[in-house]
Amino acid sequence: MNFNKGLVLDANILIRAVLGRRVFDLLIKYQANVIFYCPEDCFKEARKYLPGICTKRKLELSASLEILDKLEVIVQSISHIVYEPYKRMACGRVGIRDLNDWPVVAVALAFELAIWTEDKDFFGSGIATWTTDRVEIYLRQ
């Protein structure tokens, strides 16, 4: 595989990949050229919220969890050991918005990558952020 770039995903992108087609299709389409990363807790967070979302939307939870399992092959889960050294800097960038977002910012700092998110809390953090409606511009470069 010839990887030439990477992108950090947050939990809401993982959930969107499970629940819809657009994000999942983009991940599949670009996995040969882009390394997708997320903090290890993003998959845990997605698993925490999927049952409630599936119940609300009347979706089959087991099918959603199977898709999430497939995503774990495409998206590299980064251990907290790797991004923990960036915690202070990351918290300084998102602390006034949502301190729980620091791991995503820390992974982006550790690997010097942009973030794919729909969460406005990342905007203004000093790290390039891409939303799903625009991320393909970055992915196809």
Domain boundaries, the chain: 5-139
Question: Are 80 and 103 in contact, with CB atoms under 8 Å apart?
Answer: yes
Q: Are 6 and 37 in contact (CB under 8 A)?
A: yes
Q: What is the pLDDT of residue 127?
A: 92
pLDDT of residue 22: 96
| 38, 10 contact by CB (below 8 A) | yes
CA gap 14, 54 in Å, rounded: 14
Higher pLDDT, 13 or 92: 13
pTM attached to this predicted model:
0.91
CATH topology of domain 5-139: Rossmann fold (3.40.50)
pLDDT tens-digit profile of 18-77?
999 999 999 999 999 999 999 999 999 999 999 999 999 999 999 999 999 999 999 999
Three-state DSSP at 125 gives: coil
For residue range 1-31, list pLDDT tens digits in order. 344 589 999 999 999 999 999 999 999 999 9
pLDDT at 3: 46
pLDDT value of position 118: 93
